[in-house]
Structure 1
Amino acid sequence: MVEPSPRESTHAPRTALPFGTWPSAITAEAVAAASPRLDGARFVGDEIWWAETVPEERGRTAVRRLIGSPGSAEAVRTVLPAPWNARSRVHEYGGGAWDATPEGALVFVERSDQRVWLLTPGSEPVPLTPSVAGQSLGGLRVSRGRLLAVREISGEVTLHDIVEIPLDGSAADDAGRIVSLTAGSDFVAQPALSPDGSTLAWLAWDHPHMPWDRAEVRVRRLADDQAAGRRVAGGASAALQPEWTADGALLVCDDVTGFWNIHRVSASGDRSEAVAPDDRDTGGPLWVLGSRWFAPLVDGGVAAVRTRGRDELVHISSDGEVTAVAVPAVGNVLVEDARGTEVLVSGSPEDAPAGLWHVDLSDPTHPGIRLLTGGRWEDGEFSSWVPRPRRFSVEGRHGTVHAVDFPPTHPHVAGPVTALPPYVVLVHGGPTAHAPGVVSPKTLFLTSRGIGVVEVNYGGSSGFGRDYRERLRGRWGVVDVDDVVDIAEALAADGVADPAHIAIAGGSAGGWTVLGALVASDVFGAGISRYGVADARLLAAETHDFEARYLDGLIGPLPDSEAVYLERSPLTHADRITAPVLLLQGDEDAVVPPSQSEAIRDALRAGGVPHAYVLYPGEGHGFRRSETVVDMVQKELAFLGAAFGFAPADVPPLDLGSTGPVDRS
C-alpha cells in the first residue's frame, strides 16, 4: 500500500500555485553542471586521482588529481587536459579507460582512436599501442609494473582477450609486441595479477549469457601455455570480480546462494568459502569495465558494498566481523581503490549529486571520512529544495515491486489544496540495472517545479538478489510493463498523484518499457522515450556484440521465438498509442541506433499522435554534453506542460505536432 507523500513544508506562509508552474532556482544549466559522471579513482603516490566527465567540454572525460587538502582553491589539478578524452568503446559502455603507474604516469584510452597512451608529468602523451581498425581497449589495470587491458577486435566475429601492453612504447608501431594472455571465451573482463606476478585471474563468459547470468573466474600461471586457464568459481552461477589479497589468497564475488557474496577460493578451484555471507548483494551487473564492489585491505579485512535496494559500505574483518561504515553515499556505490586500510569510495548520497570520498578504516568503528569531490550542492541553498525520498513497495501482478517516491518540494510554494500533483514514473534502463533511490539533478529539476517523480525497480532489476533479477527472464515486455502500471495505479488510488496526469519516462530498455506501457495501458497520459527500443527484432539484428544475445534470455532465441518478438515489440502495436510521446535520440548511438526511435516516430506520425522527435548530434547511448543536457531537461518539462495543460515558468513551449522532428535550435 502506498501512503500519500507529504508535501507540506515547515516554511510559512507559502504561495499556492498550480503544480508544474512553480518558479525554481534549479535551472537547466545547474542540472548540466551538476551532472558529471565519475569514472574511477586511484591512490597515486601521495596524491588521489579520479576521472570525471566535463559537460561543458563536449562531455569529454578528464583526469584530475588532488594535491592538497579538500576545500582548497588550489587543491585540484587537471592531469589529462583538453582535448584528450579518456573513454573506452569496449562493449560500447566502456569503463576502465585509465590507470596510473606507481611513478605517477597516466595511461589512458583516447576516445577518438581507441589507442592506449602514456602521459608522464611535464610531457605530451605518447602512444603505447598502434592504431588498428576495429580495435578497442579498456579495463586498464596497472599491476606489479605491468599494464593489462581488455582488447576487443571487431569483424565478422568479434574477439575479446586480456592483453599485456609494454609500458616502454615498443608496441606503438608493432601490434605483435602486445601479448595475448587469455583464450577460449567470448568475453573477458577484470584482469587481476597475483602478488608475485606469476598467476592471472580474470572473468569470462560466453554467448548467449550475460555476465550477470552465467560467468566464471578463470586463472592461469603465466609461465604455462594454457591460455584458457581453469575455472575456479562460477559457471552455473554469475561469478564476479577476482581480487588477490596481499598474502596471495583469491577473493571473488559469487551468487551461488542467490545473492552475490564474497568467497575465498583456492587457485585450484577445489575449495570455496563464503566470507561473512549475507542476504544482500556485494556485486552488480557488469555493464561497465572497471566496476569494483569490494577491495581487500592490508590488515586482512575487506571493504565492501552491500545492497538490498539501498547501498551500504561495510568493513569485514579478518575474522568475519561486519561493521557498517557511515559514508553519505547510498546509491551506485563502488570501492574504487584501496591502499593499506584506506579506500576511495564513489556513489551518490540520498539528497545530493554523486561524489568521491576518502575513507580510513584503520579503526572501522570510528572511520575517518572526507569528501574529495562532488557529493554536495555547490549552492547550499539548494538543500531546502531537495525532496525526502520515500521507499515503498506494492504487491503487483508478478509479486512485490519496489519503488522510491520523490514528492514535489519547494521552500516557498505549494500546490492548490484541492489538487494532486502530476507525476513522472521513471523507468531505469538495462533492464538488468537498478534505480538507486537518490535525488538526481534531473529529478530535482522536476520536483522543484511541482512535478513528482517515482523510480521503479521493476522485476528484473538488480540489487534484490538473483530471484528478483530473473523474474524478467523470458518475460521482458510483460513483467516490466505490468510492474510500472501497477505502481502508477497505486499512486493514483492512494491519492499521491493526479490520475489524469501521470507520465512515464525512461531510456534504452527503459524506453522499451515506456512504449510498451503506452501500448498496454491508458494509465499514462504522456510518455518520454530516451534512445528507447521499439522493435526487438531490429535490436537483435543491429545491436553490438556484447548484447547480441541478451534477448535470448529476455525474450527467447531467434528464429524460434520470432512470433514473441513481434508480439512484444511496441512498434507492432503502435496504433494503440494515443498519449503524446517525446522521443530523444543520439545520432552516434551504436547500442540502440536511431532507426529505433525513427521507426516509432513514423508510426506515431502515421497515426496522428502528438509527438516530438529530437536527434542530438555527437551523442551516443546516454547524453554527456552540457548543451544536450540543458536542451533535454527543458524539452522534457515543456513536453509535460504541453501534454498536461500547464505552462512551465522558465522554458520555451514545445509544439506537439504530428508531422516531424523538432528543431533543436
Structure 2
Amino acid sequence: MGVVFAHAEDQRLYLWERDAGEPVPLTPEPHTEAGLRYADFSLSSDGRSVLCVREEHGRARASGTDGGPGAQAPVGAPAGDEQTAGDHGTAVEAADTVAAAGAVSPVDTVGPADTVGPADTVGPVGGTEPVAVEPAGTDGAATAPVPDAPHRGRSGRGGDIRRSIVAVPLSGRGAQDPSVIRELASGADFYASPTESPDGGHLAYVRWNHPRMPWDGTELRVAPSQGTEYTLKGGVDESVLSPLWVNDSTLYLASDWPGWWNLYQAGLKGQAIALYPAEEEFHAPPWRLGHRSFQVLSSGLVVALHGLADMTPSLYDPETLDLTPIATDLTSWSQLDSDGESVVAIAASPTTPPCLVRLDPATGSIEVLRTSDLPGAGGDAGTADDAAPFRIPVPQAQTLPGRYGAPVHVNVYPPEGSGPAPFVIHAHGGPVSHSTKEYDLVKAYFTSRGIGVADVNYGGSTGYGRSYRKRIHKEWGVVDVEDAIGVARSLVDQGLADPDRLAVRGPSAGGLTALMALTADTFACGVSYYGVADLLGLAESTHDFESRFLDSLVGTLPGFTERYRERSPINRIDEIDVPVLLLQGTADPVVTPDQARTMAAALGERGVPHALVEFEGEGHGFRSAEARIRALETELAFYARVFDTDFGLGVRPLTLSTAPPERPRAAEPEPGPDAAPTQAGSLSANGSAGTEEALEREHQSG
C-alpha cells in the first residue's frame, strides 16, 4: 500500500509506500526546473502503472517516450518494465497502491483561480498553468494523434507546451530510464481523467483544444487495445467530464448536453443514457484536474454530489433509479473520492470550516477526519480577540432581478446592527466560477464591524446551468457589471443597504468587474485585488490554459480590438470619480503589476482619490500571512476613510492620493508587538489565523 503524489518543488512523481522511510521518484528529473509536470492520476488495470496527464515545457520535453513520430503504445501493452519479486514495488504491492488524486489547481489564473499551480496543492493563483483537457477533433470520427504538437493559439507565455497521457511504471524505473514511460495519447492541447477499463481493453479520457475552455466543449475519447480510438461523446458545445468505468464495457460520466451537468451511462458504442435528468449540477466546474463529483461503489450504487453553486451528497441506485439525499448539516461538498466502500470529501457549512470527512453510504454516517482550528469552528460564534467578539455570518440566498429582469443569484451577509448599513458587493474571480455559502471569515471580518456583504454569482457563474453560464459570452465587463449594480440597488430598495455607503470589490477577474462598475453612479468606492485593468495586456501576458479564454469572454483578436479597449478599466478613467484602492503583488505573472501602476497613474492624472499598495514578492493571489492580513486591514481602513467612520474599533483611515504616484507604494513590514497600528488596527493570533485561511481561499478562487 502506498501513495503516488506530485511534489510541488520539482513536479516529479513519487511513490511513498507505507513502511518506506522516504518516497521514491517515479519520473525523471527534467532538464529545466519543473519542466515535466504530472496530474490527474489513476491506477492501471494491472496495478503496475499510474496513468496521468503529463505537461512538458520547452526544452524539458521528455525523451524516449514516443518511439518515433506519432507512435502510440497500445492500451494493455506491456509496460516495458519487467518487474520481479525483488524489485521495489512488486506487481502485488503495486496492485494495492493507491494513486493519490493530484489536483492541478488554477492557482495563477484569472479565474478560480476560485483556474494552475503545483500539482500537489489543494487549491484557481501562482506560477504554474493548469494542466487540463481539450479535444482535437469534434466530428465524432476517429482522429489520429498529432505528434509533438505544441499548443495552438495566442499566448504571451504559452510558448512550447505539450501535453499527453502517459503510463508511469510504479517500479521506479522511469526515474532513470524515461523510455519505459509509455505515451498513450497526444496531439490535443489539453487532457484530463485518464482511466483504464477493468480488463485493460480500453482507455477512456477527456480532451479539448484552444480556444475552448473545458466548460465550453470537450470530447470523451475511447482507445481500444486493438483498433482506432474514437469520440464517444461530446463536442464543441458539450462539456463531458470525469468518465468512470462501471464494468469492462460501461462508463458513467457527467455531461451538460441537457443544459446542466447531469450523470449519464455510456456503452462502448451508441447513445449515452441519462441516469437522473434534473435541472441541477451533478459536477463541479472543471477548473482543476483530478476533482470528481461522483463515485461508483463496489455495490454498484453511486454517491453523487449535486445542487447549484453548493452541492450535497445523495445515493443513486441504478436499479431503482432513486436518488436518496444523505442527511448532513454540511452544505458545501467537493472533491469526492472512494475506495469502493466509503467515500471521502471536503465539506463545509456557513458555520463549519472546510474539513476532511468520510461518508459511509450504507449507514449515512459522516466521520470528520480532520478539521480546521478556527474561531467559531463547530458553532456560530467566535472571538477575533478579547475585545472584539464576532459571529460567523449565515448568508441569505436570494435571487434578485438583474439586466432586463434576468435572475441574479446572490448570497447576502447582513451586518450586525440595524438600519440601512454600508454594504460591500463582492464579485468573485473567474469570471466563469462561483461563490459558495461555506464558512468565510473574510465575510465575518466585515459583518462584525457593521458592513454587510453581498456575494454575487453574476451571469456567467457556474452552478446554475449552461444558459446562465453563457450569459457572459462576449459580454464580460457588461453582464457581470450590470448584475453587480442591480444587486446593490435591490439591497437599497429592501432597506438593507445605505445608498451613500456602497462599495464594490473583487479579485482578479472580479477586479475588472469592480473597476468597471465604478464607471456608473452606484458605488461610493471600489477595491481591486490584482484586478484586470487592461484586457489587451492580459491577452498577451496570461498563461496557456487561459490564453484563448478571452475569445469567448470578449471576442477574437484582432477583430475585436476596439471591444477589448472599451471593456478595459484603464480606458474608462474619465468615467471614474470615486475613490479606488488597488492591491497588487509585484511578482504577479497573470495580471502583471504594470496594470495596477498604469491605473493608479491615470487616476492621479485626473485627481481621483486612490491608493496603490504593492506587496513585494506576492503573485496572483497573496500567499504570505502578512500580506493577506495587511491587505484586509488596508481594505477596512479604506472603507473607514471613504465612509468617514472607524466602525467602532479605532481604525485610522488610509491616506489617499490625488496625484500620480512617483513610484509604487510597497506594503510596510508587519509592526512589532509594541508598535501602534498604522492602518486598520491589528488582529490577535486567533483572528489572524482565521482571516489568513479565509483570504487564501478567496484568492485561490479568483
TM range (shorter): 0.7 to 0.9
Alignment of 1:241-260 (within 5 A): 241-246=242-247, 248-260=249-261
Q: Is the 8 A contact 2:527 2:582 kept in 1?
A: yes
What TM-score do you get using the length of structure 2 for normalisation?
Answer: 0.74
Correspondence list, 1:363-382, <5 A: 363=363, 367-374=364-371, 377=374, 379=376
AA partner of residue 303 (structure 1): V
Q: 1:224: Cα distance to partner?
A: 4.3
TM-score with structure 1 setting the length: 0.78
2:171 is equivalent to residue 168 of structure 1: yes
| SS of structure 1 residue aligned to 2:298 | coil
> How far did 1:348 drift?
2.4
Counterpart for residue 674 of structure 2: none
Q: Given the alignment, which residue of 118, 121, 127 partners 2:15?
A: 118
Q: Deviations over 1:587-606 (max 9, x none)?
A: 34333232332332222233
Q: Is the 8 A contact 2:249 2:267 kept in 1?
A: no
Q: Deviations over 1:181-219 (max 9, x none)?
A: 112311111111222233221111111110000111111
How far has the Cα of 1:273 moved from its partner? 0.6
CA distance in 2, matches of 1:381, 1:199: 46
Q: What amino acid does structure 2 have at the position aligned with 1:488?
A: A
Which letter maps to 1:402?
H
Give the Cα separation in 2 of the matches to 1:250 and 1:651. 58
Deviation at 1:427, TM superposition (A): 0.7
Partner in structure 2 of residue 148 of structure 1: 51
CA deviations on 1:349-392 (whole Å, 9 max, x unpaired) are 122221222111114xxx11122222785556962312231111
Between the aligned partners of 2:368 and 2:348, the Cα distance in structure 1 is 12
Q: Residue type matched to 2:546 in 1?
A: E
Tell me the amino acid that sits aligned with residue 367 of structure 2: R
1:139: Cα distance to partner? Answer: 2.2
Q: Which residue of 2 aligns with 1:592?
A: 591
How high is the sequence identity, in percent, across the aligned residues? 38
Q: Specify the code of the residue in structure 1 equivalent to 2:668.
A: R
Instruction: Give secondary structure in 1 for the equivalent of 2:639.
Output: helix
What's the CA shift for 1:445?
1.1
Cα pair 2:354 2:372 within 8 Å, conserved? yes
Inter-partner Cα distance in structure 2 for 1:176 and 1:602: 54
**Residue matched to 1:307:** 307
One-letter amino acid of the structure 1 residue matched with residue 253 of structure 2:
V
Which residue in the other structure is 1:403 paired with?
A: 410
1:638–1:654 contact (8 Å) kept in structure 2: yes
Deviation at 1:272, TM superposition (A): 0.6
Change (3 A) 1:380 1:349: closer
Q: Which amino acid aligns with 2:30?
A: S
Q: C-alpha root-mean-square deviation of aligned residues, in Å?
A: 2.1
**Hey, what's the Cα distance between the residues in 2 that align with 1:232 and 1:598?**
49
Counterpart CA distance in 1 for 2:569 and 2:597 is 13
Does the 8 Å contact 1:246/1:298 carry over to 2?
no
| TM-aligned CA deviation for residue 245 of structure 1 | 2.0
Return the alpha-carbon distance in structure 2 between the equivalents of residues 589 and 339 of structure 1: 39
Match of 1:664 in 2: 668
Question: Using a 3 Å threshold, how does the CA distance of structure 1 residues 206 and 298 change in structure 2: closer, same or farther?
Answer: same
Structure 1 residue aligned with 2:140: none
Distance (Å, rounded) in 2 between the aligned partners of 1:431 and 1:617? 26
- Does structure 1 conserve the Cα–Cα contact (< 8 Å) formed by 2:640 and 2:652? no
Question: Alpha-carbon deviation of 1:141?
Answer: 3.1
- 1:562, CA displacement in angstroms? 0.7
Is there any run of 5+ residues in structure 2 with no aligned partner, and where?
Answer: 59-158, 382-390, 670-702
> Could you tell me whether the CA contact under 8 Å between 1:294 and 1:334 is conserved in 2?
no
Q: Structure 1 residues 321, 594: CA separation in 2 closer, same or farther (over 3 Å shift)? A: same
Kindly indicate whether the alpha-carbon contact (under 8 Å) linking 1:458 and 1:483 is maintained by their aligned counterparts in 2.
Answer: yes
Aligned residue type for 1:211: P
2:348 aligns with: 348
Moved more, 432-441 or 485-494: 432-441
The worse-fitting range, judged by mean Cα deviation, of 495-504 and 305-314 is 305-314
Q: Secondary structure at 2:518's aligned position in 1?
A: helix
- Tell me the residue number matched to 1:360: 360
User: Residue by residue, what CA displacement relative to the aligned partner does 1:594-647 show, whole Å, maximum 9, x if unpaired?
Assistant: 233233222223333222223334433323332222222212211211221112
Where do 5+ consecutive residues of structure 1 fail to align? 1-102
- CA 347–632 in structure 1, closer or farther in 2 if over 3 Å, else same: farther
Aligned to 1:569: 568
Q: Secondary structure at the match of 2:446?
A: helix
Change in 2 beyond 3 A, CA 1:595/1:154: farther
Shift in Å, 1:553: 0.7
Aligned to 1:546: 545
2:673 corresponding residue in structure 1: none
Distance in 2, matches of 1:128 and 1:381, equals 41
CA distance, structure 1, for counterparts of residue 365 and residue 596 of structure 2 = 48
Count residues with an aligned counterpart: 546
Q: Counterparts of 1:204 and 1:574 in 2: how far apart (Å)? A: 41
Distance 2:635 2:629 in 1: 10
Inter-partner Cα distance in structure 2 for 1:141 and 1:591: 31
SS in 1 for 2:380: helix
